[in-house]
A and B are shown apart, each in its own frame.
Chain A
Amino acid sequence: MTIFDILHETYSAIFANKVRSGLTMLGIVIGISSVIAMLSIGQGAQNSIQSSIQSIGSNLVLITPGAQRGPGVQVSAGRGSAKTLTMSDVDAIKAEVTNIKAIAPEVSGRYQVTASGQNTNTTVTGTVPDYQSVRNVSVAEGTFITEQNLQAGSKVAVIGPNVRDDLYGEGADVIGKKIRINKIDFTIIGITVAKGGTGFGSQDDLIWVPITTAQRMLSGDEYVTTISVQAPDADSTTDIQMQITDLLTLKHNIKNGVLDFSVLNQADIAATATSITQIFTILLGSVAGISLVVGGIGIMNMMLTTVTERTREIGLRKAIGAKKRDISLQFLIEAMMLTFIGGAIGIILGWLISFGINYSGLIATQVSWFSIILSFTVSAFIGIVFGYYPARRAAGLNPIDALKYE
């Protein structure tokens, strides 16, 4: 019996009972499509979180003031408001930590910003020219803060596109115009490229000024709120993180082990986010997987019914010379064909669901080849597993009894 003959038999058997075959397949269709849709949602979530993390720069080590608290220590102020890092820390890191590519301290605060009669409240970040490369900021028009601005403590500002839109109207030409931050006039020298929202607040809402100006005119003190250190590659971030921790522990004269700063490694943040989204994906995938198993049981149920219904046919086939192998192969392939067709429809449906979710803008889903191959393998496997028992039952029938079966 050639494979073509088996397929012919399978085709006529499946089409003899269109409704039943269709309903049985539906179980597999739902199972496979939900696996694909769920995994694509998980993958999409993971991608969007990763791209958020990457958009703040690459291979970063971030130092922020006052984080760790030990037992019995007085409750300190919140992270953002603690003042423990200064420009001298920045100079020390620059001088003593090896293998750093760039360093960008920043002083951030929220201020009332007014221009041309409009006003808004946004974050103003005082920083250095290196910030542009460290934090992946691109300038659309004009320039970023220069070394000269820094040295001179110029009252210049680079603004995000949202700030421009809010204060001057969309797409207005604002280079050289004045902007009033905390009642001090700044001259706009650049506008950054829109990046879209990120997990750490939209960078499009920010205003950047030279750090010297920010310390003198806005915050009025020596402290910095974040120091971003860029490593040459992802592998050296851990080493740099340790060097900085050791250096600042020594420099801040910390003896009780309770640090007044914290050093975050971007790779760690990314790894944590990845592990969270992976758990999320596994959770979604397993819920969908359960429906796939239920679909498989549906296949087995139908095949068992079919074998009982077609007992006489099996008896006849055996009487005219079919071997056990021929019979079991026929029923096994019938079960596999059901899961195969169901699987194929399920993949298309899953893809469409994923596309629909993507189109609706809820989450940027991504159908991975992995999930398609996985669900296809699983559906073929289900066909074999749940088809095997009914097929064996059919093959094991005694032809004499099977022919007499009413």
Chain B
Amino acid sequence: MIEVKNITKLYDPEGNSFLALDGVSFTIKDGEFVAIMGPSGSGKSTLMHILGALDTPTSGTYFLDGKDVSSLSDDELADIRRDKIGFVFQSFNLLPRSTVLRNVMLPLIYSGVGEVERDRRAREALHASGLDETHFTHLSNQLSGGQIQRVAISRALVNNPSLILADEPTGNLDSKTGEIVLGTFQKLNEEFGRTIILITHEPDVAEHADRIIVIRDGKITEDSKNHKKKDAVHELAKIESLKK
């Protein structure tokens, strides 16, 4: 359960103050799949940083599972990120020297989970995001873009977070691979009841979510249920047929 109330974020680089977020409020219930959409410079990245407990708002409150995150210290924010949030980045950010399993385990290492349990949960998360078992012991730089992003999704899942935050997860992928990744999100949301926030500037991508929040110039301009939700499996089939 996410409750954002009247959040503002003021950047002040050398006197030129800039209001990146201006009174943003919304609530996201557990199990929702929400897309936050907006052009670059709209404040969606700033919002994502605050939702992801990477940054704190200048004013306003942000409750994550009933806990006020808006005024925590650096180390307390690190705890929130570790226990409640899973990140998926546009540029994947896997450790190239480590195996797929090790990459997925990484959050568990920081939360002090024992080695046997780590391995079990990492495998479970990789199965959930649909990566083939033969790739588990590969180094992450031996995989394709779609596979890499599914490893990254598994990593975001492994800590059993309250919220998965995906920042332009398809930005570096071709449309077919993008659909596979979006399909993974849909599956996680529908089958496993995961709360997912998808941040994107592409309407095509946003339309895979159940609800779309549009942000522009630091303000929410639209917040509505997505009536023409795209099904990734169906979209993928369309792409395949176009090729032929």
Contacts and interface: CB of A to CB of B under 8 A. Distances in A.
Given A399-B54, A400-B49, A324 B155 contact: no
A313 interface: yes
B111 A403 contact: no
A316 B98 contact: no
Given A321-B78, A321-B82, A403-B89, A326 B112 contact: no
B106 A320 contact: yes
Interface string A133-145: 0000000000000
B112 A316 contact: no
B93 A318 contact: no
Contacts of B107: 320-321
A319 interface: yes
B192 interface: no
Interface string A306-334: 00000011011111111111100000000
A250 interface: no
Contacts of B79: 321, 323
Contacts of B110: 1, 317, 320-323, 326
Interface in A222-261: none
B62 to A, nearest CB: 16
Nearest to B114: A2
A73 interface: no
A321 B74 contact: no
B111 A316 contact: no
A318 B87 CA distance: 11
Interface in B45-99: 49, 52, 54-55, 74-75, 78-79, 81-83, 87, 89, 91, 93, 95, 97-98
A269 to B, nearest CB: 63
Contact of B98 (A12, A315, A321, A400): A12
A16 B97 contact: yes
A105 B54 CA distance: 91
B237 interface: no
A324 B75 contact: yes
B19 interface: no
Given A319-B52, A319-B54, A320-B87, A312 B78 contact: no
B233 interface: no
B109 interface: yes
Contacts of A403: 89, 93
Given A16-B97, A321-B107, A2 B49 contact: no
A302 to B, nearest CB: 17
A30 to B, nearest CB: 28
Nearest to B95: A313
Interface in A377-406: 399-400, 403
B112 A320 contact: no
Nearest to B107: A320
Nearest to B156: A320
Nearest to B45: A400
A320 B89 contact: no
Given A400-B49, A403-B89, A320 B155 contact: yes
Contacts of B83: 321
Interface string A18-53: 000000000000000000000000000000000000
B81 A319 contact: yes
Best-buried of B83, B91, B95 by chain A (most CB within 10 Å): B95
Contact of A5 (B74, B95, B97, B109): B109
Nearest to B105: A5
A337 to B, nearest CB: 16
A400 B54 contact: yes
Given A12-B98, A403-B89, A321 B49 contact: no
Contact of A323 (B78, B93, B155): B78
Nearest to A312: B93
Contacts of A315: 93
Contacts of A312: 91, 93
A319 B97 contact: no
B24 to A, nearest CB: 18
B161 to A, nearest CB: 10
B81 A321 contact: yes
Contacts of B54: 319, 399-400
B87 A319 contact: yes
Contacts of A319: 52, 54, 81, 87, 93
Contacts of A2: 112
A1 B112 contact: yes
A318 B98 contact: no
Interface of B: 49, 52, 54-55, 74-75, 78-79, 81-83, 87, 89, 91, 93, 95, 97-98, 106-107, 109-112, 155, 159
9 contacts: A12-B98, A313-B93, A316-B93, A317-B106, A321-B111, A321-B159, A322-B78, A322-B110, A399-B54
The 8 closest A-B pairs by CB, nearest first: A321-B82, A316-B93, A320-B107, A323-B78, A321-B110, A321-B81, A16-B97, A323-B75
Given A319-B52, A320-B159, A400-B49, 9 more contacts: A13-B97, A316-B95, A319-B54, A320-B87, A320-B107, A321-B111, A322-B78, A322-B110, A324-B78
